């Protein structure tokens, strides 16, 4: 499992505009972006005691969360992801999902998942079966991604964060989502062993501080 560094900064709109311009001058857009951005939809999982949410809020040092994700409304290309955080470093495991597998997960059809040959899907099945992990809420947002090869740096600007509240109809493109909170823009900076000084200088914003921000936690604001 490969771990990466990760910084998150809530930023203001004027900083967003300035930062977008600087990043575009120094970095490349992600190959998967369309006109510089893409739409992300995720379905996050938690148990009856909201373990993932509480561990995030409490800043537990070693924690994990599961989600299913697709991009730009394309439900033919689905991912199951497990994101882990240990000692401030992050890692992500993922596997592709079929529409049948995704539907089984969202509907709690554990029998369909039991014989999967995908290790990550078997892990999710086990935790749904034994620990009561279930789909909790939909998280939508717009992402503008930039990449820089030295240090394997990836920087994203995320905004228009919306929540499905208690809705989990993840594969329905017409399901209703609402703004999660006041207008938030999140700068995320991720890198491997080192962060090049050029990029470090670009992302410095006066008054901005690294924050333990979670889109999932923000989208649980209504329950």
pLDDT in tens, the chain (223 residues): 689 999 988 899 999 999 999 999 999 998 889 999 999 999 999 999 999 999 998 889 899 999 999 999 999 999 999 999 998 899 999 999 999 999 999 888 888 888 899 999 999 999 999 999 999 999 999 999 999 999 999 999 999 999 988 888 889 888 889 998 766 899 999 999 999 999 999 999 887 667 778 899 999 887 6
Rounded alpha-carbon distances, angstroms, from residue 200 to 19, 49, 153, 196: 12, 39, 10, 6
C-alpha angle with apex 2: 185 to 213, nearest 5 degrees?
20
Residue 14: predicted pLDDT? 93
Residue 1: predicted pLDDT? 63
Instruction: For residue range 55-108, list pLDDT tens digits in order.
Output: 998 889 899 999 999 999 999 999 999 999 998 899 999 999 999 999 999 888
Residue 181: predicted pLDDT? 74
Q: What is the value of pTM for the model shown? A: 0.93
User: Are the C-beta atoms of 172 and 107 separated by less than 8 Å?
Assistant: no
Rounded alpha-carbon distances, angstroms, from residue 110 to 30, 66, 100: 36, 16, 12
Hey, what are 102's tokens? Answer: 């995704």
Helix, strand, coil % (nearest 5) of the chain? 25, 40, 35
Place of tokens 């939508």: 140
């Amino acid at each position: 499992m490969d771990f990466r560094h990760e910084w998150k900064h809530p930023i203001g709109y004027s900083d967003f505009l300035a930062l977008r311009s600087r990043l575009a001058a120094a970095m490349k857009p992600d190959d998967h972006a369309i006109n510089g951005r893409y739409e992300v939809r995720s379905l996050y999982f938690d148990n009856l005691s909201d373990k993932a949410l509480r561990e995030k809020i409490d800043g537990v040092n070693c924690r994990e969360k599961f989600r299913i994700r697709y991009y730009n409304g394309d439900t033919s290309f689905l991912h199951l992801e497990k994101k882990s955080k240990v000692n401030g470093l992050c890692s992500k495991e993922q596997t592709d999902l079929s529409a049948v597998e995704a539907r089984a997960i969202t509907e709690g059809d554990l029998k369909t998942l039991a014989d999967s040959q995908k290790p990550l899907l078997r892990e999710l099945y086990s935790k749904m079966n034994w620990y009561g992990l279930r789909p909790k809420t939909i998280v939508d947002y717009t992402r503008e991604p930039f990449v820089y090869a030295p240090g394997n740096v990836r920087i994203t600007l995320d905004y228009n964060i919306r929540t499905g509240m208690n809705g989990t109809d993840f594969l329905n493109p017409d399901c209703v989502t609402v703004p999660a909170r006041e207008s938030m823009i999140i700068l995320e900076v991720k890198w491997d062993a080192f962060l090049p000084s050029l990029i470090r200088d670009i992302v410095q914003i006066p008054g901005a501080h690294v924050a333990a921000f979670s889109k999932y936690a923000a989208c649980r604001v209504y329950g």
